[in-house]
Structure 1
Amino acid sequence: MSEEFNQQRRGFLGTAAFGLLATQLGLMGNAEAAPVVHGSTPSDRGITGAGTRFSTLKQINAGVLNVGYAEAGPADGYPILLLHGWPYDIHAFVDVAPILAAAGYRVIIPHLRGYGTTRFLSADTLRNGQQSVFTADAIAFMDALKVDKAVVAGFDWGARIADTLAALWPERFTALVSVSGYLIGSQEVNRKPLPPKAELQWWYQYYFATERGEAGYRQYTHEFARLIWELASPQWKFDDATFARSAASLDNPDHVAISISNYRWRLGLAPSEAKYEALERKLAQFPNITVPTITMEGDANGAPHPDPKVYAKKFPGKYEHRHLTGGIGHNLPQEAPRAFAQAVLDVAKLVARH
């Protein structure tokens, strides 16, 4: 197994034993799609600068949340749902959205629970960050918007959510772009230990497992987030204004609770909520994703992430992997917005419009 993929670079799917998972799922072999290598130029990084922002947000009640979201493009365009990760926000797509909107698509970018202007409708709702709650949130959000079908794309937590949606509702999420590929996980697989060097990359997960870690993240949220940005994208020279634009979304009153819950749940230190168990059982079977898919990876991703060879077989339909060069890190949509937007446009062309 150690000869077939790099132990130190696996994992952003939140599984604590991806090597064992790969064996169980039969992901190894010769069925992988040949990667397409794309270059990226420095001008891709922040096309419009930090002064550009989603200045007008909409709000809608959806499930247990009042969701804040940005929208661009014609109202009757085919919908594209873009999902951000941790600790980022909707501005990861600030330069992607205009490209997609100009092509005639309706672009919808929600703040996840615990970010930006998204709020819980009830103070009594558990501030739960387990994998499937974000899936349920996304379905409720699309239902509230009366959007029946959409292309879905994301990175980091957003890629995991996008994967779960495309896997479980292919009739609704008709094509997928996923940075770092197949990221669906389970608590059972997370119980298996990784080799020490791989565990080291998850240092913050173990920090968050402690009371000190929760207190530390609450006290130093912005400083912590900036460190993650720097480690995950070591060649991305973002400025203070670019970081501050997104860091404001982390001031959400539920952000810390959701973040801590997410990482503790992965390690089995926080229980699953009963009403999401049916979803978790489906996801724990690691379903194939059959809709047209493009997976992407940057050549300078400093965050834990799986080797594309490991997950290629999980996409048995129309599938392509794109490897970006030029020092592109973990926040791929913001660091290479043209390349990300092109992937979305390309995969969207494969969707039959009715």
Structure 2
Amino acid sequence: MTSFQQHILAVNGIELSVWVAGPEQGRPVWLLHGFPECWHSWRHQVPALAAAGFRVFVPEMRGYGRSSAPQAIADYDLLTLCADIQQAMEAFGHERVCMVGHDWGAPVAWHLALLEPQRVAALVTMSVPFAGRPKRPASEIMRQVHGGHFNYILYFQEPGVAEAELDADIDTSLRLFMGNIEALLQPKPADSRLFDGVTIPDSLPSWCPEEDFQVYRQAFVGRGFRPALNWYRNFERNWQRTEFLAQARVIQPTLFLLGDRDPVGVLEAHTLKRMPDRVADLEQHVLQGCGHWIQSERAQQVNHRLLDFLHRRFL
């Protein structure tokens, strides 16, 4: 059984909880989780990485679990989220790391690669591609494309609305995201709520047994979904603050993994096509029969791809 140490770091004006495993002299690999998950979403990767000799660092991202959860929306923009990890790397004395991110952890990882071209020596992202800074804020584009019908990201924008629905029953909300994420894309009127017309699974998906589900839910008990939703409420601020990165390219060796049944692949089809123009050294793999929760749904395949990449490109 893998042994973990929990570190509570004072960084960037918050407390950041980081779980650490693996040999002390191992090359550092950071694993950044997304929404609405927690550090435990990497439970299948940590033992494999530690056994292969890597030192693994798994933060509870700002707004989740034991880490601080500021209330201000502006406290969750991308550069602030990156600064949490940058200062944590400083605290651990890291000079050369591999950065891995899934879902919302992927944009943080992409931008850390841009901001830290020397320290981030290799990059692995899952589910969310990158094609550079858009010409307009993503939320503005979404309003133009989806203004006439429901879009869950636009629904998340109004403070107090989505969290009231999600916080009413945390277990039901997590079962929806984990077991029927495709329902978020089904057509319905623009003034709908998230759960309107949606079937909530009666049981958990096979990749998330009850004991694991309880770890996920603890990331939200007592604080609700507002801090996590605030990540979605910074598209305009992110766009404004990243102007200096508009022409930047990802130069590190990069592995990108996507499930063929991941609805993000449909939403980001244009970005996927453009990604090779902005990522200089890119390897891509599509995992068959796999949805959005890729590192849990196809843990062995992800571990194989991840370790193969690390042994070849993170030397």
Q: Partner residue of 1:321?
A: 284
Matched, 1:114 2:63: yes
CA distance in 1, matches of 2:68, 2:228: 15
CA distance in 2, matches of 1:64, 1:296: 33
User: Would the alpha carbon gap of residues 213 and 197 (structure 1) be closer, same or farther in structure 2, given more than 3 Å must change?
Assistant: closer
Q: TM-score, normalised by structure 2?
A: 0.80
User: What aligned pairs does 1:124-203 form with structure 2 within 5 A after superposition?
Assistant: 128-180=75-127, 181-182=129-130, 188-192=137-141, 193-196=143-146, 200=150, 202-203=151-152
Matched, 1:77 2:26: yes
User: Which of 234, 253, 261 in structure 1 is aligned with 2:230?
Assistant: 261
Unaligned runs of 5+ in 1: 1-51
Q: Partner residue of 2:188?
A: none
CA distance in 2, matches of 1:220, 1:208: 20
CA distance in 2, matches of 1:154, 1:233: 21
CA distance in 2, matches of 1:172, 1:149: 4
Matched, 1:343 2:266: no
Whether the 8 Å CA contact 1:61–1:144 is kept in 2: the answer is no
Following superposition, the deviation at residue 205 of structure 1 comes to 3.5
- Counterpart residue identity of residue 71, structure 1: V
Whether the 8 Å CA contact 2:2–2:21 is kept in 1: the answer is no
Q: TM-score, normalised by structure 1?
A: 0.71
User: What aligned pairs does 1:241-280 form with structure 2 within 5 A after superposition?
Assistant: 241-251=211-221, 253=223, 256-266=225-235, 268=236, 280=242
CA distance in 1, matches of 2:149, 2:233: 15
Partner SS for 2:87:
helix
Among all aligned residue pairs of Structure 1 and Structure 2, give the percentage whose two residues are the same amino acid. Answer: 23
Q: Partner residue of 1:311?
A: 275
User: Would the alpha carbon gap of residues 169 and 220 (structure 1) be closer, same or farther in structure 2, given more than 3 Å must change?
Assistant: same
Moved more, 206-215 or 92-101: 206-215
CA distance in 2, matches of 1:72, 1:55: 5
- Counterpart residue identity of residue 167, structure 1: L
Following superposition, the deviation at residue 56 of structure 1 comes to 5.0
Whether the 8 Å CA contact 2:71–2:227 is kept in 1: the answer is no
CA distance in 1, matches of 2:106, 2:161: 29
CA distance in 2, matches of 1:164, 1:199: 31
Q: Partner residue of 1:36?
A: none
User: Would the alpha carbon gap of residues 125 and 76 (structure 1) be closer, same or farther in structure 2, given more than 3 Å must change?
Assistant: farther
CA distance in 2, matches of 1:352, 1:155: 19
CA distance in 2, matches of 1:211, 1:236: 29
- Counterpart residue identity of residue 252, structure 2: V
Deviations 1:56-107 (A, max 9, x none): 5232222222211211111111100000000001111111111111111111
Q: Partner residue of 1:209?
A: 158
Partner SS for 1:114:
coil
Following superposition, the deviation at residue 137 of structure 1 comes to 0.9
CA distance in 2, matches of 1:183, 1:67: 29
